[in-house]
Chain A
Amino acid sequence: MYINVFLYTISCIFVLLSHSAMLLNVYFNGSSESTANVIILAVAVLGLDFAYFIIMLMFKQRTYAIDFLLILILNMSVIFQSCFGGVHLSVKHYITCIVSLVACKLGYMICKNHKWLQMQKKYIYLAIGILILAILTLTGSRSMWINIGSISIQPSEFIKPLFVLACATSVAEQQKKHKFLWFYVVYENFALYGLTAVICLLQWWCSDLGSLPTFVGIFICGFFLRICYPKAKFSKKTLISAGVILLIVALIALRFAPDYVQERLHADIWNDKTGNGYQQSHALIAIADGGWFGKGPGNGSLCNIFAHENDIVFATISEEWGLLFALMVILAILIMIAVPLINPPRSYYHSTMSAGVCAYFIMQMTLNIFGSCNMIPFTGVTIPLISAGGSSMATSGFMVGMLIAAQSPEFKNPDGRQYRNAPVRRRTA
């Protein structure tokens, strides 16, 4: 059980106060025509807070800091999403937040023991293979989406945490070099390079290159940590060469990118406000319209624009809550993924995994926020934990679970015995 009652209580109060303050803002400044809508939203948000405060105690962790941040951010997103186009509880998003919390705990359970996970790497590759096959066979004509009735699932989202795990599991293999002709090679690396290439080709085949930078970011992160692995003995020359090759590949890819990518790369959003610049121009206008403090929950107009709740959600939040608040939400996510800096993981596996998760969060936020604000080409990916979308929420939750696992690892051999030199850590909130 949680050991520091004082910090636990303070953290609970902080989360509750934050959500209460937001709900009060919705009540006083929101566009709700019915107080009942605000009360329903408040009950749902605060109820989920209390429920998670209790449920999280069922998991013996060394720290619950990320859990508190997770519930703080998730319920913030529930309030945001419930205010777009008028105040009423967004049941769909609420459910996906619960799914995200479940996925988080699942991620924690699966990833807390890296020794065990290391042994399951063939299943990781197998799961990725199955997901790729599902995309190729079940999504219809060159698409990333599987539609089951009114529910749409994006299997490529689920590949992301598995890809992080694949990168992390390959790290420990770096000392196992084999002589092949005149070279010393690591077989594991070939598998990972192959996997990366397949994922890239899949994205290209589906004409959906939006997530490609996320995969590349995770891969670069994993690649860098692999070649810096203590026993890997890669030289700085290798590191620089890899960087140069990567840069050349990126430049060639940009040069020969498909037409629809080229159009986005060179879009003049203000002269193409009804075409390629439609969402970005409206997003920027909405942010400007909201100013520092916003127009009030539910008073925005961006909710009439396609994908306002996911692809351009930063602008939608900025318009209604103000740029300052939108930045604070992003800061909360940054603090969550920066926890490994304050509380370092105890194994290289978990630290690689944490870096991969960080890369995922940063790349997704970069693509979403900077893309919707026309600083980089608009790709239409989600902000983890904030944007609406079941696949994204579940994936993000699982990733947070991986972060928690790195904070509260289990140092047991697969046979159940404790490691001889398992590190001991003081428990904190």
Chain B
Amino acid sequence: MKSIKRSQYIISLFIILFIAGMAVLVIKIRTEAEFYMMNSDEQVLGMVYDRNGGVLFDGTGKGQYEDNFFVDVGNLIGDNKGQMTNTLVAQNLKKLNNYSFSSGTVDDGKSAIYTTLDHNANRAVYNSYGWQEGCAVAYNYKTGEILVCTSLPSIDVTKGYDGIEYFESGTLISKNMYRTVPGSTQKVSTVVSALEIMGTDKLFSKSYNCSGHYTNLNGDVIDCHNWSGHGDQNIQQALENSCNPFFAQLVEDNNDLPLEDIIKQYRKMGYAVNDDELEYIDIDGIQCEKASTTLIDSHEFRTQWGCIGQGDTMVSPVQLMMWQSAIANGTGKMTMPHLIDHVTDINGNITDTAETKFSKQIFSSDTANTIRQMLLTNGANHYVYSISGYTVGVKSGTAQVDEGAKENSLLVGFVDDPNKPIAFCILIEDKNSGYLTTEQVAKIMLDSINLN
């Protein structure tokens, strides 16, 4: 009988191992079922709403909407068709899926994403571009709620993707999330670095001459947009004038502004410098590219242009806007942006609710307050009429792209108003193709945003 017992042990062992495996399988299926259903062709998705309850995406496909109703958010909100992957819907299918393992797929489920976007403001900004292209993003720098995020050209996802091969380049992405040449808006980062490294007093004591161009120590010429030159200037004047020779001479001042320290500060602000690995900012699943630049030698042409805003420097509009939040808050900490305010499950219960988060300190509060005042002065001196009704701190930029064939216009800034704490970045591509200015877009944007 003892020998027969052994065969029973073996049978028991086989059965126990199998049952253990089955238990693991059931747990695996139970926990991953929603992921499996995200890969199903028979998804029943819920809705995406804006901050006022307006529809931004209709997963049921049953609603009736006017023509191009979703075009201003098309490449940000996206859909589940797989053509646009870096979008809110594509990255949050699990939250939108009207499915639970217990109930299965429910056609009239209440899974929904409630975003922080203001669809009216977004549409107004989109329409303001007319035939011109570009992108604009704005958020509440106190809470991190993204209010406006539009990118042109775009697509109304309800119309499908017929003729996709003829779509204009950039139609299927939100350009706010991707790096572009920052132009003179980069000078904000350079001023921040200089303030951090040499301090306010020393930086303000610096004065350089601009004769319309500057020949650096390597013999390369840095041109200013003002051919007649700005004359002797301090940092405030140079920032307001966006004077390239001033900043080239500042970067070349290796004694008070060592390049290694600039690189260190840039990295602190999130730049991938030289061969650093490119990183991303996660905004509710949407991947936003972080900045990058090349800084080799303070006398080198490319390095100097990198600090001025050309060269190899690339920054996404979202990141430019986030730096403005660190300035506007006066803390040196960026407010992390988010698009999702809250999420409801299949039964309509709120599951996820957004929380305001801040980055680690990227520069000191003293630096933040100094640069904040500099930008506000710039706003007061140059933008009172064009962005009327708002106390703004701003910095404009013009970026040469396509080997200098085209110029993009940028404007970054913030509103100094506790009732309308908005930071923004506006980009108009090929600015000379039309008459639209970034200030006009900013004015329309700020007027149309309703924070109540």
Contacts and interface: CB of A to CB of B under 8 A. Distances in A.
Interface of A: 217, 221, 224-225, 228-230, 270, 273, 281, 284-285, 287-293, 295, 301, 323, 327, 330, 334, 337-338, 340-341, 344-348, 351-352, 354-355, 358-359, 362, 365-366, 369-370, 373, 375
A49 B22 CA distance: 30
A301 B43 CA distance: 13
Contact of A334 (B19, B100, B104): B19
A301 B42 contact: yes
B257 to A, nearest CB: 48
B14 interface: yes
A384 to B, nearest CB: 13
Contact of B2 (A230, A292, A323): A230
B274 to A, nearest CB: 33
A373 B26 CA distance: 10
B204 interface: no
Residue of B5, B14, B29 ringed by the most chain A CB atoms within 10 A: B14
Contact of A327 (B1, B11, B26): B26
A291 B36 CA distance: 12
Given A290-B104, A291-B104, A338 B28 contact: no
B29 A284 contact: yes
Contact of A341 (B8, B24, B28, B39): B8
Given A217-B14, A362-B18, 14 more contacts: A284-B29, A287-B33, A287-B36, A288-B29, A289-B104, A292-B101, A334-B18, A340-B7, A348-B7, A355-B7, A355-B10, A359-B10, A369-B22, A375-B25
Given A341-B12, A355-B10, A288 B25 contact: no
Nearest to A293: B104
B139 to A, nearest CB: 34
24 contacts: A217-B14, A221-B10, A224-B10, A225-B10, A273-B39, A281-B39, A285-B39, A285-B40, A288-B29, A288-B32, A289-B42, A289-B105, A292-B101, A323-B29, A334-B18, A345-B7, A346-B4, A348-B3, A351-B3, A352-B7, A354-B7, A369-B22, A373-B29, A375-B21
Given A337-B15, A348-B4, A351-B8, A370 B39 contact: no
A230 B3 contact: yes
Contacts of A346: 4
B39 to A, nearest CB: 6
B6 interface: yes
B45 to A, nearest CB: 15
Nearest to B10: A355
B103 interface: yes
B205 interface: no
B2 A344 contact: no
B36 A366 contact: no
Interface majority SS on B: helix, strand, loop or mixed? helix
Given A225-B10, A289-B40, A338 B18 contact: no
B42 A341 contact: no
Contacts of A341: 8, 11-12
Contacts of B39: 270, 273, 281, 285
Interface string B65-104: 0000000000000000000000000000000000111111
Contacts of A365: 18
A415 to B, nearest CB: 26
Interface string B13-54: 011011101101110110011101101101000000000000
Nearest to A340: B11
A362 B104 CA distance: 30
Nearest to A292: B102
Nearest to B105: A289
Residue of B10, B25, B37, B105 ringed by the most chain A CB atoms within 10 A: B10
B43 to A, nearest CB: 10
Interface of B: 1-8, 10-12, 14-15, 17-19, 21-22, 24-26, 28-29, 32-34, 36-37, 39-40, 42, 99-105
A380 B273 CA distance: 51
B102 A370 contact: no
Nearest to A348: B3
Nearest to B8: A341
B115 to A, nearest CB: 27
A366 B15 contact: no
Contacts of B29: 284, 287-288, 323, 373
A362 B11 CA distance: 9
Contacts, number: 118
A334 B15 contact: yes
Contacts of A338: 11, 15
A359 B10 CA distance: 9
Nearest to A225: B7
Contacts of A337: 11, 15
B20 to A, nearest CB: 11
A333 to B, nearest CB: 10
A359 B22 CA distance: 16
B11 A355 contact: yes
A230 B5 CA distance: 12
Residue of A228, A337, A345, A358 ringed by the most chain B CB atoms within 10 A: A358
A338 B13 CA distance: 11
Contacts of A340: 7-8, 11
Nearest to B5: A344
A284 B37 CA distance: 9
Given A288-B36, A289-B37, A289-B105, A228 B19 contact: no
Nearest to B11: A358
A351 B7 contact: yes
Contacts of B4: 344-348, 351
A352 B22 CA distance: 25
Contacts of A228: 3, 6
A6 to B, nearest CB: 28
B44 to A, nearest CB: 11
Q: Which 7 A-B pairs have the closest CB atoms?
A: A351-B7, A288-B33, A288-B36, A355-B7, A351-B4, A291-B104, A362-B14
Contacts of B3: 228-230, 348, 351
A323 B39 CA distance: 19
A78 B140 CA distance: 63
A346 B200 CA distance: 95
A168 B54 CA distance: 73
A144 to B, nearest CB: 25
Given A281-B39, A373-B29, A295 B11 contact: no
Nearest to B14: A362
Nearest to A315: B29
Contacts of B26: 323, 327
A327 B18 contact: no
Contacts of B5: 344
Nearest to B30: A323
A175 to B, nearest CB: 12
Nearest to A224: B10
A170 to B, nearest CB: 14
B19 A375 contact: no
A171 to B, nearest CB: 9
Contacts of B24: 375
A285 B21 contact: no
Contacts of A292: 101-102
Residue of B11, B101, B104 ringed by the most chain A CB atoms within 10 A: B11
Contacts of B14: 217, 221, 355, 358-359, 362
A386 B188 CA distance: 71
Contacts of B11: 337-338, 340-341, 354-355, 358
A347 B32 CA distance: 46
Given A225-B10, A351-B7, A358 B25 contact: no
A366 B18 contact: yes
Nearest to B12: A341
Contacts of B40: 285, 288-289
Contacts of B99: 288
